Structure 1
Amino acid sequence: MADTIIEPGAEQTIETAALKSDRFRLEREADWIRLEDIVTKMEKGKAKRLSDEDVLALPTLYRTLLSSLSIARESSLDAGLIDYLEGLALRSYFLVYGTQTSLGRWLKEFFGGGWSRAIRDIKMDIWIALSVMIAGTLIGYLLVAGDSDWFYALVPGNFSDVRVPGASEAALRGTLFGADKQNGLGVFAAFLFSNNAQVAILAFALGFAFAIPSILLLIHNMALMGAMLWVFAQRGLTVEFVGWLSIHGTTELFAILLAGAAGIHVGRSIAFPGDKSHLTAASDAGKRAALVMAGVVIMLICAGLLEGFARQLINDTGIRYLVGASMLIFWLVYFFVFGRKRMEIGS
């Protein structure tokens, strides 16, 4: 085999490139080694052993590493060096921008004040959503009161058997009391839960369109409730119907309220970003609203359990109100008292 002949000019070019690569490494290697040491300790769960200086230096060292990697690629330096920098950059990325907490710690922070704090941050939007829901209920009630045909436009036909305008008091009362007579209204309750869960998700998801679809959705959903309320009110069963609904309704409707408020918060932040850019305002509002929605899912699960068990077992109107009021008080205290006290103690 013939020996490879390297021309003098090419040999000098290789030596220059090697020298350049060595110089580049020597100038920055100390920062790379320090960053790799920090990353390795954090990956092994030894973050507590890091000094405050190392923790504070992590973002700066990461940005310096990215700068070195960019220069190395543009200068076509040693391939091995580039591979090393790319690997270290990938490991550092997850530590700088990834979630640095365990599931248990996240849940502790979420239930310990994070959820309630996010809800207090959208207090204005909660009042807007509450006003919209009350208006929707009144609209449904007044529409059916003025023309009973509106009932069939608002309430799905497969749920309007005996619970229709003109039904007798005995027939309506029979749907509210007695486990053996509640099958019909139980189906309606299951429908309400399924429908409200969908409304909660959509009210939040459609908030990006300046909150208009979220508001319309809340109005339509509560108009259905208003229409059904009128049917029972005409036979003097308002107290009994509200008591039946309150067992799971105080939790379920509260969840709808928060979901609608979360959607309105996102839409309002996009429409009126204030001093922030539209993108920044939407991002901040989205993070806050997403935290609220995580709690809404939990509330809907609680409402489903109450609807599935408590409503079936309790036939006394007074006890129904007691259960519904207790759940409402629990949520109000948790959202607006419990979290606030923890925050004030910590500050």
Structure 2
Amino acid sequence: MALPFFRSAEIEPPADIEAASLRSDRFRLEREVDWQRLEAIVVALEKGRPGRISDEDLLDLPVLYRKTASSLAVARETSLDAATLSYLEALVRRAWFQIYGPRIGLFGWLRRFLGGGWSTSVREIWLDICISLAVMVAGTAVGWLLVARDQDWFYALVPGEMAGGRIPGADRAVLEQSLAQTENAEGLTVFAAYLFSNNTGVTIMAFALGFAFGIPTLLLLVYNTALLGAMLYVFADAGLGLDFLGWLSVHGTTELGAIMLGGAAGLHVGRTMAFPGERSILAAMQDAGIRAAQVMAGCTIMLIVAGLLEGYARQLVGDTTSRLAIGGGMLLFWAVYFAFVKRPPEHDA
């Protein structure tokens, strides 16, 4: 690739501009052989053809990169022409990626992520998880107590379309029918997709609201679990509390776990903003943001699993004992995974 160079032959430039141009020309002529060698190596690497690189060029690659980076630093300090400066910036950036850039592909990243990266990030925000869990338990209790005290609270907490006839004082047979097994999975795909979308929205909101120092996240968690507590009261009042828990547990241990982690990630960011410690807020936020992003990426996987369980397993498994076994098994799986799967060593990536 020819180096960019622009000069006008029609207009006689002032002396200072001409001197700067001559200085730029001299600077470039002294170094452009190394630049062109580096660019040829980078192009070969970008095209996936390292075999076309000579042994001499390959051995000189680190030296050529350092020389070009040094040239870029000088060009910036001496305000050389913009074309040369742009060329060097692009070349150094491309060379850096080929020399120092990540060598891990999608499957390698996924293996590291599931093999300990995600679980390690979850353990690192254990305090925020404890806060999130406590708030969710408190919200469930609040929903139960409010409806037990005044059933009008149920209609304030639970949207009509979600209640679907499962309201205080409903006939036991109606409530049992809402928990009944579905004979086949036809039409459940759309239902699962809807529930996945809804649960994803709640989790993302719980995370995003954490940037307001975590307070809106806490309120969102309280509201969503108060809704759960209100619904639980309705079934318990009809003598179907255990059946409702079994019906819910199939997907609930995974879904509520994802919401809890999403809320904890948001709280972690908000708490770091409020209490950065001895670090600057920017440095503290950078670390917290990376950790929270890891947790949220894992929440997406949990929500996909919850959507499948909610749309299929919950509808196709009828008895309460089996449902509780599925829900309890999923809870045990997530607990063991987050507690014991360690981050792999860097050199194994």
TM-score range, shorter chain: 0.7 to 0.9
**Aligned AA (1:313):** L
**Alpha carbons 2:192, 2:311 under 8 Å: kept:** no
- In structure 2, the CA distance between the partners of 1:175 and 1:118, relative to structure 1 (3 Å rule), is same
2:275 aligns with 272
- Higher mean displacement: 126-135 or 31-40: 31-40
| Alpha-carbon spacing, 1:25–1:150, altered in 2? closer, same or farther (3 Å) | same
What is the deviation of 1:283?
1.9
Aligned 1:250-265 pairs, distance under 5 A: 250-265=253-268
Alignment counterpart, residue 69 of structure 1, candidates 61, 75, 83:
75
Distance 1:249 1:218 in 2: 15
Q: CA deviation at 1:85?
A: 2.1
Q: 1:303 aligns with which of 303, 306, 314?
A: 306
Residue 151 of structure 1: how far off its partner (Å): 0.4
Cα distance in structure 2, aligned partners of 1:5 and 1:320: 85
Percent identity between the two aligned chains:
51
1:65 and 1:89 in contact (8 A); partners too: no
What is the deviation of 1:68?
A: 2.7
Higher mean C-alpha deviation, range 28-37 or range 212-221? 28-37
Q: Identify which of 175, 178, 186 aligns with 2:178.
A: 175
Q: What residue is the counterpart of 1:153 in the other structure?
A: 156
C-alpha displacement at 1:339, in angstroms? Answer: 2.5
**Offset from partner CA, 1:31-65 (integer Å, 9 cap, x none):** 75685476456434578999999898798667534
Residue in structure 1 matching 2:129, options 111, 126, 131: 126
Report the CA distance shift for 1:18/1:290 in structure 2 as closer, same or farther (over 3 A): same
Of stretches 326-335 and 81-90 in structure 1, the one that deviates more from structure 2 is 81-90
Spell out the pairing of 1:93-108 with structure 2 (5 A cutoff): 94-95=97-98, 100-108=103-111
Aligned to 2:323: 320
- How far 1:190 sits from its partner (Å)? 7.9
Q: Deviations over 1:219-256 (max 9, x none)?
A: 00000000000001112211111000011111111110
Separation (CA, whole Å) in 1 of partners of 2:239 and 2:339: 35
1:232 aligns with 2:235: yes
Q: How many residues align?
A: 334
1:117, distance to aligned residue in structure 2 (A):
1.3
Deviation at 1:286, TM superposition (A): 1.2
Deviation at residue 338 of structure 1 after TM alignment? 2.1
Q: Deviations over 1:154-176 (max 9, x none)?
A: 00012334311112322212221
Q: Quote the Cα distance in structure 2 between the aligned partners of 1:260 and 1:130.
A: 9
**Other structure's SS at 1:339 match:** coil
Cα distance, 1:38–1:187 mapped onto 2, change above 3 Å: closer
1:209 has 2:251 as partner: no
Change in 2 beyond 3 A, CA 1:128/1:37: farther
Contact 1:118 1:288 in 2 (8 A): yes
Q: Are 2:292 and 1:286 equivalent residues in the alignment?
A: no
Supply the RMSD in Å over aligned alpha carbons. 4.0
Change (3 A) 1:256 1:19: closer
Give deviations 1:245-286, integer Å, cap 9, x for gaps: 011111111110110111001101111111221122112211
Code of the residue aligned with 1:70 in structure 2: it is R
Greater fraction of residues in helix: 1
Query: Aligned equivalents of 1:288 and 1:256: distance in 2?
Result: 16
For CA contacts below 8 A with separation 6 or more, give which structure has more relative contact order: 2
Tell me, in whole angstroms, the C-alpha distance in 2 between the residues paired with 1:188 and 1:207. Answer: 29
Name the CA distance, whole Å, in 2 between partners of 1:230 and 1:188.
25
Q: Helix, strand or coil for the counterpart of 2:302? A: helix
- Residue 142 of structure 2 aligns to a residue whose secondary structure is helix
State how far apart, in whole Å, the 2-side matches of 1:53 and 1:142 are. Answer: 73
State the SS of the aligned residue for 2:342.
helix
One-letter identity of the residue aligned with 1:170:
A
Letter in 1 for 2:26: D
Counterpart amino acid of residue 75 in structure 2:
L
Letter of the aligned partner of 1:69 in structure 2? A
Structure 1 residue 107, shift from structure 2 partner: 1.3
Separation in structure 1 between the aligned mates of residue 59 and residue 279 of structure 2, nearest angstrom: 32
When residues 16 and 337 of structure 1 are mapped into structure 2, their CA distance, relative to the original with a 3 A threshold, is closer
Q: 1:273 to 1:66 in 2, by over 3 A?
A: farther
Return closer, same or farther for 1:83/1:241 CA change in 2, 3 Å cut-off: closer
Secondary structure of 2:166's counterpart equals coil
Tell me the secondary structure at the aligned position of residue 341 of structure 2: helix
CA distance in 2, matches of 1:5, 1:148: 89
1:151 is paired with a residue of what secondary structure?
helix
Is contact 1:266–1:286 with CA below 8 Å preserved after alignment? Answer: yes
User: Are 2:34 and 2:68, in contact at CA under 8 Å, matched by a contact in 1?
Assistant: no
What is the CA-CA distance between 1:191 and the residue it aligns to? 6.9
Counterpart-to-counterpart distance in 2, 1:320 and 1:113: 29
* Alpha-carbon shift at residue 66 of structure 1 (Å): 3.2
